[in-house]
Amino acid sequence: MPFRTEFRFRPYHDARGERLPNPEPRQIYGPVHSIGPLTVCAYLVATPDGLVVVDTGYESDGELLPDNIRKLGFEPRDIRLILLTHWHWDHIGGAARLAELSGAPVMVHELDAGIVESGSYRGERKTPPVGVARRLKDGDAIERGGVAFRTIHAPGQSAGEVVFLAEVDGPDGPCRVLFAGDATGFKHSVKGLDELGYPGVCADYRRAVKTLEALEFDLYLGGHPHQVFNEMREDGNPFVTREEYRRMLSERHRLMEEFVARHPRYLEW
Ligand SMILES: [Zn+2]
């Protein structure tokens, strides 16, 4: 039986080009919920042993996320774990507030942990600093309430970008959820790469594409809604097929290779 959900990732603008308000928090499938603002994703997994949050939006979402958790009938103080896919400030900005409300440990890959802890990048303050309780490595599985989140290192967007793979139960049976962050992306612009690239970024990304291609999952929960409604399924249904996912990945990879062919200096970086 196929997995069903009423949830849809929605475009950011209406037909007249007006920006839409933040969406209401919603259940996606079983214990998995969407709690993020309009353009960046944050997820809540409600386990019998408390709540797990994956990514936390911008600093300005510090109150939106706890409010959304309450709207769903949960309490922010019951958060037991905060997982971050990568250090970029649109994904970690709300972590300090959620950690303060709950005392939950924050976990991120070891290569991104320093930036999360300082809240600063290249000497510039970007986001509220937050302590990292555990520096993750590829293959680490973090379990809460019977749900194990497997860490898979897929760098390119940042040196410590990871995806988390977890199996949850829901009305249509057990479902493999990929919390994909922005791992499919490459900053294919001179400005983007100069700002957020790092030594070895091209080799990292090529390896990450292979890692991501091999993943088996049912539910795609990325870092931004447009990853689904723009690139995989116009209807925004997060149950993308393997074909839709692999097509998106190869298109992303093609854009990266085209970019570095035009700007080969990044290959030697
Ligand atoms: Zn992002």
247 CA distance to ligand 1 middle (Å): 20
171 CA distance to ligand 1 middle (Å): 30
Rounded to whole angstroms, the Cα distance separating 57 from 225 reads 12
86 CA distance to ligand 1 middle (Å): 9
Rounded to whole angstroms, the Cα distance separating 35 from 43 reads 6
Rounded to whole angstroms, the Cα distance separating 106 from 120 reads 17
182 CA distance to ligand 1 middle (Å): 6
230 CA distance to ligand 1 middle (Å): 15
172 CA distance to ligand 1 middle (Å): 30
| 137-141 mean pLDDT | 98
pLDDT of 36 reads 96
Predicted confidence band of residue 264 (pLDDT cuts 50, 70, 90): very high
Closest CA to 166 of 153, 155, 154, 180: 180
Assigned token pair, 94: 């709300």
Rounded to whole angstroms, the Cα distance separating 215 from 163 reads 10
**What percentage of residues in the chain have a pLDDT greater than 90?**
97
Owner of token pair 């924050």: 106
Q: Which CATH architecture has domain 26-268?
A: 4-Layer Sandwich (3.60)
Rounded to whole angstroms, the Cα distance separating 231 from 218 reads 17
In the chain, at which residue ranges do the beta strands (DSSP E only) sit? 26-29, 32-34, 43-47, 50-54, 79-83, 106-109, 120-121, 124-125, 134-136, 141-144, 147-153, 162-168, 175-181, 219-222
Q: Is the pLDDT of residue 268 over 90?
A: no
Predicted confidence band of residue 269 (pLDDT cuts 50, 70, 90): confident
| 143-149 mean pLDDT | 97
23 CA distance to ligand 1 middle (Å): 17
pLDDT in tens, 197-231: 999 999 999 999 999 999 999 999 999 999 999 99
Rounded to whole angstroms, the Cα distance separating 73 from 170 reads 18
Task: Delimit the domains of the chain by residue range.
Answer: 26-268
* Structural contact between residues 117 and 83, judged by C-beta atoms closer than 8 angstroms: no
CA dihedral in degrees (169, 171, 172, 175; nearest 10)? -20
- Full-model pTM: 0.97
